[in-house]
Amino acid sequence: MRIYRSVRPTLLALALSSALFADPALVAAQSASPAPQTVAVPAPATAVPVPNRLNRVLPPWIRLRAEFRERMEGMDNSGFVDGRDDLFYLSRLRVNATITPSKMLSFQVQAQDARVADKTVGATGTPFRATIDVRTAFADIGRAAGSVMVRAGRQELAFGEQRLVGHLAWANAARTFDAGRVTIKRKRTQVDLFAASVVRILPDEWDKSGNGNRFAGAYISTTALVPKSTVEPYVFYRQDRGLKAESGAIDRLQQETIGVRWVGTLPSKFEYGVETAIQRGSLGPDDVQAWAGHFQIKTPVFGPALRATTEYNYATGDHNATDGVRGTFDQLYPTPHDKYGLADQVGWRNIHHVRAGLEIAKIKGWPINANYHTWWLADGHDGLYLASGALLARIAGGAPDRHVGQEVDLQFAHALTPQLQLAAGYAYIAPGAFLKAATPGKAYSTPFVMLTYVFLAEK
């Protein structure tokens, strides 16, 4: 760990210095995908960072890509406790190899090493730390642009806006599944069928899936039903064991989530997005009865460079913890970062969430997002859940006032060079009556600064 922390500044210096010599025309098409699709015109050798020349000498059926990311995060009054402050560093290195023996067959393997340094408050394991391991390893059978493709092995799963199923890229140790997936494409419709088990990240041994966890589903995306829109119906089945029923017994979960996402455009360049999902099933003797909704409108303000966002999110909570009916919505395996506030103190469970925001597309290449959030518990007898889905706070006997609080946040991203990306943000939460009653109630704030450097990506 000490060695890694001492090497981190050197790696950042290498990223900065190498990026200064990067050829913009060469790298512009490189950072989007780990799987090469086109061949760039070679730049003069002196203009290309030394690490990026490796793909020039390798045979065309093997391509390498690597990414180093460093993020500094801070927090004041963690858990809304006065003086519980922290400032720490998250480092992540990924190296990806793609082997394409034929047009109908390809293999990808990605190794990852994720570390955390100087963290003094809270846990330092997953999702902050994941020592070197094989993060993905899968085979693709069929053409990417063909009508049918099969992917088998350790892989990411991501659908729609990833409110229910996503790769959790923001986390230092992001999510993968051991899965089989079939993608069927027609002119205006795509169907994905999958069966999977989430991979548990084990910092001191090889990551593994299983242990009773099963996850399967079907996701359809079509533009054929409604003009200028995409409709995405889906069904997910989750099975798990070792969970606690309301009676206190440890039992097995069997749960179905059925929903639809609908996004599109209206006249005057208005954009809308709607997603609703219901859940039914059982956890031992308990019945599962829950639902959630997402509703969003984006409108241009003084042209396309400035857009206003209005959004409402809802998810049911559990009114009675002993009646044998589980009403708290299960957000499954999402990418929840910044969905319900940049500070990630609120998840899609037992919540009313209202958001108003401004998206400034370009200020000399510096896009800026500014947002205001306010939340209420859907049911005062249930608690407040973090973006991860974990319980943050609850008041025994029910909350007399369900207002959680308010957040203002600001963030931006900018490409310093085609290979080096900068992102930064700040969020501040003013606690409402619920947080003041359920916690010490101090204001919470969190800043971050993140650098991402892509190398070994020349095509």
Residue 457 pLDDT grade (very low, low, confident, very high; cuts 50, 70, 90): low
Q: Which pLDDT belongs to residue 52?
A: 67
As a whole-number percent, the residues of the chain with pLDDT over 90 amount to 78
Q: pTM for the whole thing?
A: 0.88
Residue 458 pLDDT grade (very low, low, confident, very high; cuts 50, 70, 90): low
Q: In the chain, what are the domains?
A: 2-455 (2.40.160.100)
Q: Which pLDDT belongs to residue 301?
A: 87
Residue 39 pLDDT grade (very low, low, confident, very high; cuts 50, 70, 90): very low
Kindly provide the residue ranges of all beta strands, DSSP E only, lying in 22-147, ordered along the sequence: 62-75, 86-102, 105-117, 130-141
Per-position b or e across 384-418, b if 16+ CB within 10 A of its CB: bbbbebeebbbbeeebeebbbbbbbbbbebebebb
157 Cβ contact partners less than 8 Å away, ≥ 6 residues apart: 165, 166, 167, 177, 179, 181, 194, 196, 333
- Whole-number mean pLDDT of the chain? 89
Residue 58 pLDDT grade (very low, low, confident, very high; cuts 50, 70, 90): confident
Phi then psi dihedrals of residue 9, to 5 deg: -60, -35
In tens, the pLDDT along 100-130 reads 999 999 999 999 999 999 999 998 998 999 9
As a whole-number percent, the residues of the chain with pLDDT over 70 amount to 88
Q: Which pLDDT belongs to residue 368?
A: 93
Q: What is the mean pLDDT of residues 230-256?
A: 96
Residue 56 pLDDT grade (very low, low, confident, very high; cuts 50, 70, 90): confident
Q: Does the pLDDT value for residue 38 go beyond 70?
A: no
Q: Which pLDDT belongs to residue 49?
A: 62
Q: What is the mean pLDDT of residues 216-223?
A: 98
In tens, the pLDDT along 310-367 reads 999 999 999 999 999 999 999 999 999 999 999 999 999 999 999 999 998 867 678 8
